[in-house]
Amino acid sequence: MMRKPLGRGLDALIGNGAAGVESGGVDNGDAQFRMAPVGSITPGAFQPRLNFDQDRLAELTRAIQSQGIIEPLIVRRIDAPEADGPRYELIAGERRLRAARAAGLETVPIIVRDLDDRAALEMSLVENIVREDLNAVEEGLAFFRLVDHFGLTHDEIASRVGKSRPYVGNTLRLLELPQSILNMIAKRELTAGQARPLLSIQSAEAQLSAARRIAAMGLSARGAEEMATANRPRGKTAAARAAGDANLNALAEGLQRALKRKVRIFKRRGRNPGRIEIDYYDDNDLTAVAEMLLGNARASMRA
């Protein structure tokens, strides 16, 4: 079985501690490799994943029974009476721990790290993202926790998890959808791309109705966007009325590529002025948009 790469984010958090697995080894600065009883490890308080695929877990259990655990679990030390021996909280590797228990292993390889709560959440989040194990709702909840509990900006989250700032903002916005739709995303009945257009529909009932039709019809993200557009109030479809103007469409697409944000151009009608709308996702994102626009304006004045 080939070991999957950890990815830049997780590798940087772990450091070189995993090298101790091959060397049998031990202390590596603030990371120590050792074997630990399965019963000494408690589930992580910062595990972002809420759903575990039982079929994949069974496959991993069989692999561990055959070959053991190739990649050590990441843990941090927690207080416990000395008579009970060291106790650990799991940071990364819950699927491996569950499979090890199911396989009947008594001990598992671990790397012990000295981490505060924020670093523990970051590492657990990055580990799951690298393995592509999280659904969009789990990612959004983890991002929200980093914002709400630890005060991280979208830029800071993006740099830590190796994603773009718009990706972080878009994932957080999904949490604004009704819980019933979030459940559909969590069950992978809807993808994030299919669900995101639903945010433009004002009524929760209409959002849910559209979500069910998207899932039943297996629409693409583009098809979901078209359905959401059809569900918007007629008084707010000026952008749709401009859809037949190829020049405006091309201009809007060019602006979207340059700004990396959704742009809508509303065509001038009679004496009413036209307008341009640019989406932003928080105060920091608004500042970034303003800086880009002001920078372009200054460059144009100098020219």
Q: Report pLDDT digits (tens) over 40-89.
A: 888 877 776 666 767 777 888 888 888 888 788 888 888 766 656 788 88
**Which candidate, 115, 91, 110, places its Cα nearest to that of 100?**
110
Which tokens in the block code for residue 138?
A: 């789990």
Q: Report pLDDT digits (tens) over 88-139.
A: 888 888 888 888 888 888 888 888 988 888 888 777 777 766 665 678 888 8
Maximum CA extent, the chain: 83
Q: Report pLDDT digits (tens) over 265-293.
A: 877 777 677 788 887 766 777 887 788 77
Which residues are 41's β-sheet partners? 88
Catalytically annotated residue among 82, 94, 156, 277 = 94
Helix (H) or strand (E) segment spanning residue 33: strand 31-37
**Which candidate, 179, 174, 139, 173, places its Cα nearest to that of 157?**
139
Of the chain, the end-to-end C-alpha distance in Å amounts to 59
| pLDDT of 22 higher than 60 | no
What is the fold of 8-131? 3.90.1530
Higher pLDDT, 267 or 215: 215
Per-residue b or e along 107-117, where b marks 16 or more CB atoms closer than 10 Å to that residue's CB: ebbbbbbebee
Residue type at position 210: A
Helix (H) or strand (E) segment spanning residue 110: strand 107-113
pLDDT at residue 12, rounded to an integer: 38
Indicate the SS3 state at residue 161: helix
Each domain of the chain, given as residue ranges in start order, spans 8-131, 245-303
Q: Residue 94 catalytic?
A: yes
| pLDDT of 187 higher than 60 | yes
**Which candidate, 192, 201, 133, places its Cα nearest to that of 167?**
192
Contacts of 59 (CB under 8 A, 6+ apart): none
Higher pLDDT, 194 or 48: 194
Cα–Cα dist 110/127, whole Å: 15
